Structure 1
C-alpha cells in the first residue's frame, strides 16, 4: 500500500550549472588559474627584461665578498664577509630593535592605559596628554627628533652624563657595563630556567587548587622566590662567577663595556613611545569593556583594588586587548624599517640599501626583504593567536 508522499514525483538534481556548490567550485578554479597566469606572465616578462639589459638573476651573489663596513654587528663580520652574512646581520639588527620595542611599548602602554582610568585627576590628564601627543605626530618625525634634537645634542664623551660611574650617556651613544661570565655561571642560568619552569607549574597547580577548593597559595612570594631567589642563591653559592667590564674614558671616547649606538637608542625610544600611545588606548578600551558588575562584585567580596585589577579586570580585558595589540606589534616590526632614515643598520638599510646599490639585483633582494617581514608578521600573529585562543572564553 502506497503512502501519501510516495506517489509524489521525486525532484531531480537538475543541471550541474544550477548547483550552487558546483558553481562556486568552478569560479574558484577559474580564479586560481587566472591568478597563476597573471603571476606567470609577470615573472616571464621580468626575466625577459632583465636578460635584455644584461642583468644577472639568481642568488649566487650571496656568496660574493661584501667589502663594506657595518656599524653594529651581533655576529662576527669583517671585510671578507659575504653578502649572505650582511643579510643575516641586518635581520638580527631588525629583530633586536623590534624585540626591545615590543617589550618597552607593552610596559609603557599598559602603564599609561591604566593611568588614564585612574581616579587621580592629574595622573589621568597626564596620561591623556601623552596619548594625544605622541600618537598624532608622524613616527618618522619622532625618530628624527630623538636622534637629532636629543641624543646627538648630548655633550661630548668628556662631559658625559653619568649614573654611578658605570653608565655614561653622550652624543656617541649609551655606554653600560658588559657582563663577563666566569666558570660556573651557567649553573645560575640553569637554576633560572628550572625556577621559571617550577613557577609555571606552581601557577597551574594554584589555579586548579583554587577551582577545586576556593583557596589560593601565596604566589606573591612563591613565584619571586623560584624565579629570582633560587638563581641568586645558586649564584652566591657558586662564588659569584660574574664580572663586569665597566666602560672607561680613554682619550676622546669610552672603551670597554657595551655600547648602544645613538641610532639604536633613538629608534628604540621612538618606536616604543609611539606604539605605546596606541597600546594605551587599547588597554583603556579593554578595561572599560569589562562589565562594572565584575568590579562591584569584587568590592562586595572585599578584594583590594590591586587584586581586583590583577585577578578580575585584566584577565577579562585581555580577551579584547590581545587581537588589537597583535596589530600594533606587527606595525612596530614594519615601522622599524624607518631606521634607514637615521642610518641604523637594519635589514632595509644594510641589505635593501647598501647591498642593492653594489649588486644591482633588485628583484631578488627586494623579494628576500619582503619575505622576511612577511614571515616575521605571520610568526608574531601565530604566537599571539595561540595565546588569544588560550585566554578566550569556552562554552561548557
Structure 2
C-alpha cells in the first residue's frame, strides 16, 4: 500500500494511516460489523472516481462525463442482482442507515407507524430509536426478544402488530445471533396490512452465500450494508420488487442524497465480483463455523450466551451470571488492552446503561478473512475468557497479549 503522496503532502495524516495499518495488523478485529476489505476493493475506493459528480442514475445523469461512472454503477447493480436475486437494486446509499432512510421516505409519511426490535434487544438506531431521525419523524413501537430464551417470539410479534397496526415492520438486527424467520415476520406484516423491511446489514454476505435464508422475495424491501460480511466497498444497498423501484430511486436521489460516492460504488462493484467467486461461499460457511466454535469455547469456560449459542457471525455473551461484577465496558477495555477489539453490548433484560452494558458482542468475519479457522477460534475464545476471568492481573494480561500477537503474526494483513 503506497502512501508516498500522502507522506509528502500531509505527514500527520500519513502517520495516522500507517499507525492504523499497524493497529489492524497487530489486533484481532472482532467487532461484528467490521471486516477487512481486499486490496482490490481498497484500490477502487481510493480511485479517481472520487473526483466525479454523477448525480442521477446510469443513462440519466445531471452532469456530463459520466460514461465511466455509468459502467461502474451498472456493474455493481448487475452483480448485486446476481448475488441476491432481487428485481431492482439501488447501490447509491452512503450507508445502511441511509438505505433504510430511502425506504422510509419512499413509503411513509411523517407520523406513520413503525414496529421494530428494541435497540437493547438487538435492534438498530435506524429502526426507530428516539435519538435517530426515525424516532423523531415516525410513531414507533418496539418488540423484544424473549428475555429467558433470547429468541424472537413470532407469535407475540404478530399479536403486537395486529394491535399496533404499523405501516411497516422492520426485521433484521445488529445483535441477534439466531437465524431470522422472514416468512413469520411477513405473516405478521400481512395480518396487520403492513409493509415489511428486512435489514440484512450484518448478514449481507451470509445471505449472498446461502448460509442464511434470504428475505429477498419475501419482504417488500431488503436493505443492507456492503462492507460487513459481504466485504465490499463501504456503503449501503436497497433491494425491492420492480413496482417500488421508481419510488425508492427517487427517495435516494434527490430525496435524501446528492451525488453518489462513485469511488465507494466502485469498491462495491469489485467486492461483489469477489463474492460471486466460489471461494466466497466457503468463506461465509467458515464465518458461521468460527462463531459457533467461539461460542462453545466461551460456554465451556462458564459464560452465558444470549439464546444459548449462534447461527450467524456473532456471539452475544451475557456477563451477569458468570461475572456479575464485570460490566461490558470493563470487559471491552480489558480486552482491547491485550489486542482483542470487540464491543460492550446490551442484553435482553438489561439493567445497565447502554454505555456500560452487561454483555459483549464478538464477531468472526474479519478474523475469518485473515484465515482463522476452528483451532484459532478456540485459542481466541480462551484468550477472551482468561482476560475477563482475571481483569486487573497484569501477568495474565501480558501473557494473553503475547498469545494475541502470535496469532496476528501467523495471519498477516496486506502483505
Q: TM-score, normalised by structure 2?
A: 0.22
Query: Considering only CA atoms, is the larger Rg found in Structure 1 or Structure 2?
Result: 1
Which structure features the higher share of helix residues? Answer: 1
Which structure features the higher share of strand residues? Answer: 2
Q: TM-score, normalised by structure 1?
A: 0.23
